Amino acid sequence: TRYWRDWSSDVCSSDLFVFMRNWRATAIAAVAIPASIIATFGAMRWLGFTLNNITMLALVLMVGVVIDDAIVVLENIFRFIEEKKMPAKQAAVMGTRDIGLAVMATTLSLVVVFLPVSFMSSISGRFLYSFGFTAAVSILVSLVVSFSLTPMMSSRLLRTEDVGSHGGSRRGFYGFIDRVYMSMLSWSMGHRAVVATLAIVVVLSTVPLYKLVRQEYIPTNVDEGEFEMSVNAPEGTSLMAMEQVLDRLQGDIRAMPGVKHVLCLVGTGYLQTVNLSRFYVRIENVEDRVFSLGRLWKKTLEGRPQDAFTNIYSQRDVMQTIRARLKQQYPELRVRVGNLQTVNQGTAPYDIDLALRGPDLQTLHQYSERLRKAALETPGLVDVDTTLRLNKPEMRVIIDRQRAADLGVDATDVAQSLRLMVGGDDEVSRFRDDKQAEDYDVEIRLAGADRNSLETVSKLYVSSRRGGLVRLDNVVQVKEDVTAFRIEALDRQRVVNVRANVAPGYALADRLDLIYQHAEDLKLPAAYSTAIVGRGREFERTLGEFLLAFSLSVVFMYMILASQFESLIHPVTILLSLPLAVPFGFLSLWFFDETLNLYSALGILV
């Protein structure tokens, strides 16, 4: 972040010098950047903000905004000195007063653009709360700087002889720009119908361009050089068998090109199940596997420039290769491959998470399996899985109520005997070791081979109220069956989640539409319903709230401009630039094959 902040400030300063061609004017305008940013730190401390990805993003974006006010004021003072031959001190007063209304209207309009973002109610709104206030404060500080520090420095540093020495603002390169602009303006004024028609076409192009751009919640094509995997084996898999499978998996993954480090964990997490493992995979640094001018220059110095064009691959390529190979070699495993979670929302690390809710677990299992199979056949969906798997082995005990009553055996006695022998009891007695002066708990439980044997469990004895013992298989029937590993609930209803990730080349929005269509094709009964959760829900909420924030910004800008210009028509003239700018934002996203997400939406908002 320090490098990016310094680099952005240096670029702004160098651009100013190229266009102003005067080091004094460049220094005056450049001072506005640190003055505004550093003053913003005080407000951030008062608001309890920290320097993080969101606040740094706001500061970096505002570097180009906070200098605008200073440049406008400085240019007008510069013009008063050049054209009206005023002394610098008088030009600073008159030039600032002449341009003050426009600068204030621009600054306040920018403030009301960013403030509504801070009050979004979704999880994204909590992240953007600091973004909106940091941006708004930096803009307000830039207004104070442009009305105080910039005129003061102009009155002290600008000189009449320096202003005229660079050839004037209407000669040379600037004269060429002036002539081109005036010719375009004259043509536009002479062909108003053509210009108006073209403007309407541009505005109407917003709809098809919006549909053309892929949409998602947060960018998924980020190449971080690392990703994670989760491997789920069938229920009942022992730790020893799981270790053997994981050893083979690690060997296969390490053998793939580009993989540097592999870390595997099993039996961790809040479930602590031995059939669920997690992988962390680290690949080569991005500088060593993508083409760049820096890599070309480095290889050229080494005498091997052709190497800069070889061994080109991305993180997504490695993830796709691992996903395809594991699916082919280990079909019994359920594998998920995805980026590390940079924004943890407390939900499953899947792009799509659809919840099926209803009263009956078996019915939910049937519908979820139908939906899972439909998702598997849907292009663009990978790592399809469900949270309900009826594959956990169990021994099911069915009591013969009539015989148990005849023999004086209660169901509680049956349950108590099975609990002691199969489940175990750690509070049977205490053993005193006099040599060690220690007490130990005495536990009782059948040995592993016996408690896993259906025949042995059936031969257990249970006490009878009539006296004596009754063999268990005289009153119950024990059979092997499968059941769910766990039963989840949402809104006081049993729930099954169907989850999937979005493959490269596709986006969250269009895949969500297909999932919704598959859910409608199930034709669920009245007692069953569906709901999108996780990233999909936040995507829909964030998109709607961004549109609301954008609408509020337009309304607030109109109110501020109307009060500043004391006119109801001039604000409309100014605000017409908004619908003309938005299509080109969508066009740039489509041209560079990017998606409309949380961060690109901020760019369009700016």
Which pLDDT score is estimated for 4?
A: 40
Residues 550-568: tens digit of each pLDDT: 888 889 889 988 888 888 9
Residue type, position 464, single letter: S
229: closest CA among 312, 154, 321?
Answer: 321
Assess whether pLDDT exceeds 50 at residue 163.
yes
Measured CA to CA, the distance from residue 288 to residue 153 in angstroms comes to 48
Q: Give the pLDDT mean for 339-353.
A: 78
Which pLDDT score is estimated for 5?
A: 41
Which pLDDT score is estimated for 3?
A: 37
* Residue with more model confidence, 241 or 16: 241
Which pLDDT score is estimated for 1?
A: 36
Assess whether pLDDT exceeds 60 at residue 168.
no
Assess whether pLDDT exceeds 80 at residue 347.
no
Q: Residue 220 — pLDDT band, cuts 50, 70, 90?
A: confident
518: closest CA among 380, 358, 390, 343?
Answer: 380
Which pLDDT score is estimated for 185?
A: 94
Which pLDDT score is estimated for 85?
A: 83
Q: Give the pLDDT mean for 188-200.
A: 94
Of 77-91, 418-432, 511-525, the one with minimum mean pLDDT is: 418-432
Residues 450-477: tens digit of each pLDDT: 777 888 888 888 888 888 888 888 888 8
Other CB atoms within a 10 A radius of the CB of residue 190 amount to 9
Q: Residue 162 — pLDDT band, cuts 50, 70, 90?
A: low
Q: Residue 489 — pLDDT band, cuts 50, 70, 90?
A: confident
For 244, the enclosing helix (H) or strand (E) is: helix 239-254
Q: In degrees, to the nearest 5, what angle opens at C-alpha 417 toward C-alphas 413 and 420? A: 140
* Residue with more model confidence, 315 or 236: 315
The string over 353-373, giving b where at least 16 C-beta atoms fall within 10 Å of a residue's C-beta and e elsewhere, is bbbbbbeeeebbbebbbebbe
Residues 384-435: tens digit of each pLDDT: 988 888 877 888 888 888 888 888 888 888 888 888 887 777 677 888 888 8
Which pLDDT score is estimated for 271?
A: 67
Residues 519-534: tens digit of each pLDDT: 999 999 988 999 988 8
Measured CA to CA, the distance from residue 136 to residue 309 in angstroms comes to 45
Q: What is the mean pLDDT of the chain?
A: 85
470: closest CA among 395, 401, 408, 402?
Answer: 408
Longest pairwise C-alpha distance within the chain:
120
